[in-house]
């Protein structure tokens, strides 16, 4: 039994012009897994007991600027704690100096109103006037107060 590998004048072998897509699919699956693992890590992890709201949910920007005031009275920009004195410098660093950036303010429901107003005054003094107050969507009854 003889095996011919080609190379003669009667050779019918042609060049293969198809692309092998298996390596591309493997790379795409690895990238999918990397993004699935990395996506939850980019969320804000400051625990805040938010009050409820009956307002309709609004669309949020791609990369929001989160400012959190926890029950322990610690002010955090993203996951980093900041003081009221360093708030403007931290906001400028996080927003690239763009004062038109919307700041999403999350405050624990047990924070006194005066302390929340002090944070809002600090934001106004820093030049950040676009402030969105964050609450739990569709949980107005969970607010624990008067309607």
Cβ neighbours for 47, distance < 8 A, ≥ 6 positions apart: 70
At residue 70, the pLDDT reads 87
At residue 15, the pLDDT reads 72
At residue 63, the pLDDT reads 74
Report the alpha-carbon distance of residue 143 to residue 147 in Å, rounded.
9
86-144 per-position pLDDT tens digit: 888 998 898 888 888 888 888 888 888 888 888 889 888 888 888 888 877 665 544 44
Residues constituting the chain:
147
pTM attached to this predicted model: 0.55
At residue 33, the pLDDT reads 92
At residue 46, the pLDDT reads 66
What is the β-pairing status of strands 103-107 and 131-133?
Answer: parallel
Over residues 37-65, mean pLDDT = 70
At residue 144, the pLDDT reads 46
Closest residue by Cα to residue 120 from 131, 111, 134, 106 = 131
Q: What is the dihedral of CA 49, 135, 124, 89, to 10 degrees?
A: 50
């Amino acid at each position: 039994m003889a095996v011919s590998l080609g190379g003669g004048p009667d050779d019918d072998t042609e060049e293969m012009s198809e692309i092998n897509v298996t390596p591309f699919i493997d790379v795409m699956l690895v990238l999918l897994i990397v993004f699935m693992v990395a996506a939850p890590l980019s969320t804000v992890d400051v625990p805040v007991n938010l009050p409820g709201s009956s307002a309709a949910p609004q669309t949020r920007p791609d990369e929001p600027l989160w400012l959190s005031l926890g029950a322990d009275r610690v002010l955090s920009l993203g996951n980093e704690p900041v003081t009221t004195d360093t708030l403007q410098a931290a906001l400028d660093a996080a927003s690239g100096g763009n004062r038109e950036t919307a700041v999403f303010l999350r405050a624990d429901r047990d924070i006194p109103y005066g302390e929340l107003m002090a944070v809002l005054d600090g934001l106004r003094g820093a030049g950040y006037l676009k402030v969105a107050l964050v609450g739990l969507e569709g949980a107005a009854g969970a607010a624990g107060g008067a309607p």
